[in-house]
Amino acid sequence: MPNLLEQLRRMTTVVSDTGDINSIIQFKPTDSTTNPSLIATAAAMPAYASIVDDVLLEAREQAGPSASDSEVAALAFKSLAVAFGRKILEIVPGRVSTEVDARISYDRDKSVAMARDIIAQYEKAGISRERILIKLASTWAGIQAAEVLEKEGIHCNMTLLFGMHQAVACAEAKVTLISPFVGRILDWYKKDTGKDYQGADDPGVQSVTKIYNYYKKFGYKTQVMGASFRNIGEIIELAGCDLLTIAPKLLSELESKQGPLERKLDPAKAAAMNIEKIPMNEETFEKMHAEDRMAHDKLTEGIEGFSKALQELERLLCKRLGELREKQPVGAH
């Protein structure tokens, strides 16, 4: 009998949730996604020092000899996620997700400008925008930015998504993909209630199931990609979801297990369900967001966490720049 990972691939697109290129080579996912925390972790690994150094040297050359280390690091930071994305695209046949700076999550215009810059960097390297997903936080501003970008043929992956109001707004904005965070929803409920949840009782699983059924019922083209898993039980309960982005440790666990895998999410079943449509505008979104304590808490926490990871990454780049300057004179490349 095929293992659970092989069976899952027959009903769901499997995406690798990592910045570790060696893990991507091992598991051969269709697509790959990264986030600021993953990029920061990968950038600190000796295996990827050459990618980091190349980006830093290029940024130093662009900034000129009078630029401070922090200015060069800020310039390099913009290119680093794209540099990792380009490496990943040499391995995966599909797409890579690259994230807009979390610190501008509440600014539509800045988010649009940064997304265009990321796409321009990929296109300059000869990579089609069809292979890139721009990741944006699912704030109202982020979703409006995605609506603008989608009209320009720039595909978006909405992250830090926890509530039904965020999912409905994304579908109405015609975004390509959403990434509801299964494990982070579970974390919040465990902390809030003191209970443990298993299988179909997992609140994160229930949230993604509800979103998936809503999308399929009303024929939205936006795809659902479950993300942030804590255990393979959550993945098994979401078999059949459009896509699932899974960390290497859990991919390995799925690969090592045998047994039948039942399809849990099915568009035909969803189409037959009695589901009420939710009209969406900014006022409704903000009202629902304020009333959903979990979504409110986790979105704020997620943006703060990603922002902190970016600050750590900038510090790492500054430190590495100092080390490089000792080895190589300014202006040499």
pLDDT in tens, 64-101: 989 998 899 888 988 999 999 999 999 999 999 999 99
Report which of 102, 114, 98, 119 is spatially closest to residue 31, judged by C-alpha positions.
98
Task: Evaluate whether residue 95 is within a structural domain.
Answer: yes
- Residue 100 is given by DSSP the state P
Task: Evaluate whether residue 87 is within a structural domain.
Answer: yes
Task: Evaluate whether residue 207 is within a structural domain.
Answer: yes
Task: Evaluate whether residue 249 is within a structural domain.
Answer: yes
pLDDT digits (tens, 9 = 90+) for 185-196: 999 999 999 999
Question: Could you give the number of structural domains in the chain?
Answer: 1
Report which of 189, 149, 141 is spatially closest to residue 166, judged by C-alpha positions.
141
For residue 244, the model assigns a pLDDT of 97
* Confidence band for 328, pLDDT divided at 50, 70 and 90: low
Task: Evaluate whether residue 256 is within a structural domain.
Answer: yes
pLDDT digits (tens, 9 = 90+) for 146-167: 999 999 999 999 999 999 999 9
Does residue 47 register a pLDDT over 80?
A: yes
For residue 213, the model assigns a pLDDT of 98
pLDDT digits (tens, 9 = 90+) for 230-279: 999 999 999 999 999 999 999 999 999 999 999 999 999 999 999 999 99
Report which of 183, 184, 197 is spatially closest to residue 230, judged by C-alpha positions.
183
* Confidence band for 34, pLDDT divided at 50, 70 and 90: confident
Calpha distance 207→226 (Å, rounded):
10
Does residue 329 register a pLDDT over 70?
A: no
CATH number of the domain that 293 lies in?
A: 3.20.20.70
Does residue 325 register a pLDDT over 90?
A: no
Q: Which of 27-36, 298-307, 320-329 has the lowest mean pLDDT?
A: 320-329
For residue 38, the model assigns a pLDDT of 86
For residue 125, the model assigns a pLDDT of 96
For residue 331, the model assigns a pLDDT of 52
Name the average pLDDT for the chain.
Answer: 94
Does residue 285 register a pLDDT over 70?
A: yes
Share of the chain above pLDDT 90, in %: 89
Task: Evaluate whether residue 35 is within a structural domain.
Answer: yes
Share of the chain above pLDDT 70, in %: 98
Task: Evaluate whether residue 121 is within a structural domain.
Answer: yes
Report which of 117, 116, 131 is spatially closest to residue 86, judged by C-alpha positions.
131
For residue 172, the model assigns a pLDDT of 98
For residue 114, the model assigns a pLDDT of 96
- pTM of this prediction exceeds 0.75: yes
The residue-averaged pLDDT of 175-202 equals 97
Task: Evaluate whether residue 332 is within a structural domain.
Answer: no
* Confidence band for 308, pLDDT divided at 50, 70 and 90: very high
- By DSSP bridging, strand 96-99 and strand 132-137 are parallel
Look up the domain containing 256 and give its range.
4-327
Does residue 333 register a pLDDT over 60?
A: no
Calpha distance 4→260 (Å, rounded):
7
Question: Given 87, 124, 135, 221, which residue is catalytic?
Answer: 135
CA 247 and chain centroid, separation: 12
Write down the H helix ranges in the chain. 4-9, 21-27, 36-43, 49-63, 69-89, 108-124, 140-151, 164-172, 182-193, 203-217, 232-237, 248-256, 267-271, 282-291, 293-327
The residue-averaged pLDDT of 35-52 equals 89
* Confidence band for 36, pLDDT divided at 50, 70 and 90: confident
**216 flagged as catalytic:** no
